Amino acid sequence: MRIAGVVRTAAAAAACSVVLTSCGGSGDDGGDGGDAAHSAHGGDRGAARTAADPERIPGVGDRLRSRIPKEARQVVAVYGEGEDSAKATVVLYSKAGATWKKTRSWPAHNGKKGWTPDHREGDKRSPVGVFTLSDAGGVVADPGARLPYTRTASLQAPHYWPKTHWHDFDYVIAIDYNRVKGTPPNDPTRPQGQSKGGSIWLHMDHGSGTSGCVSLSKSGMEYLLRTLDPRRHPVVVMGDRAALKA
């Protein structure tokens, strides 16, 4: 049976301004649109083996592969174009038996300044790693999410941001980086401390880089919300292509 999204009590509006600043920043643009092309060099035997093995997520090396929980049956892979690039591609993989199969893909954006294995508050880079996906929400009504969904106006992007950013948080999927699972996406609690940043989300795209989140189209967000199933233990594997392959 399909697990329906549930509406939960929103975080306090006072905390929301801190959270939105962390994810969306001031709205200044730092990247540009477009898909990330990927090509494997003929001499890169490790990459070729990864791409050819149906029991592996393409382009993900042993270091991050070992961090994917064994029970995970859904992986959102975010392939950043480069360490300092805001361009990315999001691919959803589903596991049947021992085989990973590509389901859908979308052009996307990540942090304005690219990627980092040591994310810090305000660095405008997205964190490299493997993170669970436990909670969702948005300004607009639940589109049929399987993850617990919190609808709240407190997620609304400030209207002093550029108009192109106003709908960024109509849909949000919280990435479990420095946050408490089982809480709304804009819960301000940061177990590792404020300096490690937080409020790293999948959210709707405005056509350029973010302050650390990953953004994709409205249709892509709706598809992920309707497809990611807590019974399948979804995770996100994210980083620039070189970091992912390491």
Please tell me whether the overall predicted TM-score, pTM, comes out greater than 0.75 for this model.
yes
The pLDDT value recorded for residue 11 is 39
Q: What is the CATH number of domain 67-245?
A: 2.40.440.10
Sign of the CA dihedral with 240 first, then 106, 223, and 171 last: positive
> Residues of the chain whose pLDDT is less than 70?
1-51
The pLDDT value recorded for residue 52 is 76
Catalytic residue flag (residue 203) = yes
Sign of the CA dihedral with 1 first, then 216, 180, and 127 last: positive
The pLDDT value recorded for residue 173 is 98
The pLDDT value recorded for residue 229 is 98
**122-154 pLDDT, tens digit each:** 999 999 999 999 999 999 999 999 999 999 999
Q: Which residue in 119, 203, 206, 233 is the catalytic one? A: 203
Q: Which residue in 23, 167, 213, 233 is the catalytic one? A: 213
